[in-house]
Structure 1
Amino acid sequence: MTTTRIAIAGLGAIGRTLAAKIAGGTIPGTSLACVAARDEAKAKAWLAEQGIAAPVVPLADFPAHADLAVECAPAAVIEEICTPMLTAGKKVMVLSCGALLPRPHLMELAKTHGGQIIVPTGALLGLDAVTAAAEGTIHSVRMITRKPPKGLVGAPYLVEKGLDMDAVTEPTLIFSGTAREAAKGFPANVNVAVALSLAGIGPDRTTIDIWADPTVTRNCHAIEVDSDSAKLSLAIENIPSDNPKTGRITALSVIAALRKLNAPVRVGT
């Protein structure tokens, strides 16, 4: 079996989960080549504690070590992760896919050099069906997201509007607009909407409503798609990880995507 060398950018909740899984040999056909982290000393200490021998290297050195980099870092550093790998004709798995919208040159970079940007399903569902429907004609895509208020704290849109999530005592619609607008206003919260838009009819025709809802304890997403081949109504309730902005299933989605890379049987589009 071919071995894909994996680099992990960021050792937060998702990055640590991936590092442990890959280094533990539970994803056949992969090896942990290296990691990068903002706090190098802390990263080295954690790796040593886990018995993981992978080196901590600068993002610019990823192409020398790895075939594929997994972005588990703040969206602000996406160019530092993607540019070296894509220029070298390699692959990057992007979780902060909302950061791709204002950076179309990264997609052109992949095209020019033979690299590839992979957007995993993440905390969503139904992307296979939406991708298939997009081969025909999709008339509309609408998403409704409900999150506990604390999972939305710090979003630029809320700061700009002066909205205090601690003051929310009942379900409140705090945003309604396009996936592109949502990605700008909620960069850490609605990457799912951007993934949905990239699978379907684009970020300017995909719409999303975001609710701050103190009655829910999970990150809830409902999708409605109307197309010439199918009408889709999908819903998922994600249990938050240690980071309330991110569902536990996000890391599992990345693991599933990595498992598909060299699998003898691949299920799904």
Structure 2
Amino acid sequence: MEPTRIAIAGLGAIGRALALRIGRGTIPGTRLACVAARDAAKARDWLAGEGLTVPVVPLSEFPAHADLAVECAPAAIIEEICTPMLTAGKRVMVLSCGALLPRPHLMDLAKEHHGQIIVPTGALLGLDAVTAAAEGTIHSVRMTTRKPPKGLVGAPHLIENGYDMDAVTEPLRVFSGSAREAARGFPANVNVAAALALAGIGPDRTTIDIWADPGVTRNCHTIEVDSDSAKFTLSIENIPSENPKTGRITALSVVAALRKLGAPLRVGT
């Protein structure tokens, strides 16, 4: 079998980690085909320094190089990444899945052209159980997120409501509402809530509380699901990457998802 050609959109903490793993041949059945980055010259210098000989191309040229694109970029450019690939009937692995909620036309585009949008587990856990429960009836899904205040800096919801994360000295609930509202107010922080919503009962019925907590050093998520098949509570504490908004496990989740593409044994739904 020919290896799956992978394009990476964005060379931040996650994009670089993936480029190194794929480019050095540690994920069987995949090949790093190209990358795109806001600063193309800087990206070329980094690739050369790591001994990776792949082209840096515009997002519009991804379909000519790759079978699957991995989005590791700001949520604002998700359409620039997804539209060319999906129109070409190809696949996109989306990490900024909160950006999918106000853009249902991207799912329609994938369906129309026989493309596919893949949302990896990311920094959450238990999505297999949630998708299984959704085959029956889910009564409620609630999520609680606690992050160090610096991991929430810059969120539109905080700016609009005058929250100063430097002034937080004890746990402070900064948001309570639906996953759809959370994705709008915290586009770089709670993609986990969007993934949970997409796996279960949707963004309007999935609820989330977000806490700025100076007493934690990890990104902590707890989900509570009540359904006709199971009632379960799951918790995870993610160690932040060099980008405090993102956990180290996010990149590893993408690696695991890529391994499944051609693995002789696939565990989990």
Q: TM-score range by the shorter chain?
A: over 0.9
Partner of 1:262: 262
Query: Which whole-Å CA distance do the structure 1 matches of 2:146 and 2:116 have between them?
Result: 32
Cα distance in 2, alignment partners of residues 116 and 196 from structure 1? 18
Shift of 1:2: 3.6
Within 5 Å, give how 1:150-229 maps onto structure 2.
Answer: 150-229=150-229
> Does structure 2 retain, via aligned residues, the 8 Å contact 1:7–1:68?
yes
1:30 aligns with 2:25: no
Query: 1:246, 1:42 → 2: CA distance?
Result: 22
Alignment match, 2:65? 65
Alpha-carbon shift at residue 258 of structure 1 (Å):
0.3
Provide Cα deviations, 1:167-217, integer angstroms capped at 9, x if missing partner. 000001110000000000000000000000000000000000000000000
Percent of matched pairs sharing the same residue: 84
Post-superposition Cα deviations, 1:22-48, rounded to whole Å, max 9, x if no partner, equal 011000000000000000000000000
Q: Distance in 1 between matches of 2:40 and 2:111?
A: 32
Segments of 5+ residues of structure 1 without an aligned counterpart are: none
Deviations, residues 64-109 of structure 1 (Å, cap 9, x unaligned): 0000000000001000000000000000000000000111110000
Counterpart AA for 1:268: G
Partner of 1:136: 136
Give runs of ≥4 in structure 1 deviating > 3 Å.
none
Match of 1:211, SS state, is strand
What do the CA deviations read for 1:46-70 (whole angstroms, capped 9, x no partner)?
0000000010000000000000000
User: Which residue is 1:117 aligned to?
Assistant: 117
Kept in 2: contact 1:2–1:262 (CA 8 A): no
Counterpart of 1:155, as a letter, is A
The CA distance in 2 between the partners of 1:166 and 1:230, in whole Å, is 41
Matches of 1:12 and 1:135 in 2, distance apart?
Answer: 36
CA contact (8 A) 1:67 1:91 kept: yes
Check if 1:51 corresponds to 2:51: yes
Q: Distance in 2 between matches of 1:150 and 1:138?
A: 34
What amino acid is the match of 1:56? V
Uncovered stretches (5+) of structure 2, i.e. residues with no partner: none
Q: Which amino acid aligns with 2:138?
A: I
Note if contact 1:5-1:33 (Cα within 8 Å) is conserved in structure 2. yes
DSSP-derived class of the 1:257 partner: helix
Q: Kindly report which structure 2 residues correspond to 1:3-22, keeping only aligned pairs within 5 A, or say none.
A: 3-22=3-22
Write the distance in 1 (CA, Å) between the matches of 2:37 and 2:64. Answer: 17
Paired residues in the alignment total 269
With normalisation by structure 2, the TM-score equals 1.00
Match of 2:234 in 1: 234
| Structure 1 length-normalised TM | 1.00
Q: Tell me if the contact between 1:60 and 1:80 (Cα under 8 Å) persists in the aligned partners.
A: yes
Contact 1:86/1:113 (8 A) holds in 2: yes
Query: Where does residue 252 of structure 2 map in the other structure?
Result: 252
SS at match of 1:153: coil
1:207-256 per-position Cα deviation (integer Å, ceiling 9, x unaligned): 00000000000000000000000001000000000000000000000000
Once superposed, what is the RMSD of the aligned Cα atoms? 0.4
Amino acid at match of 1:85: M
Q: CA–CA distance in 1 between the matches of 2:3 and 2:143?
A: 38
- Counterpart in the other structure of 1:82: 82
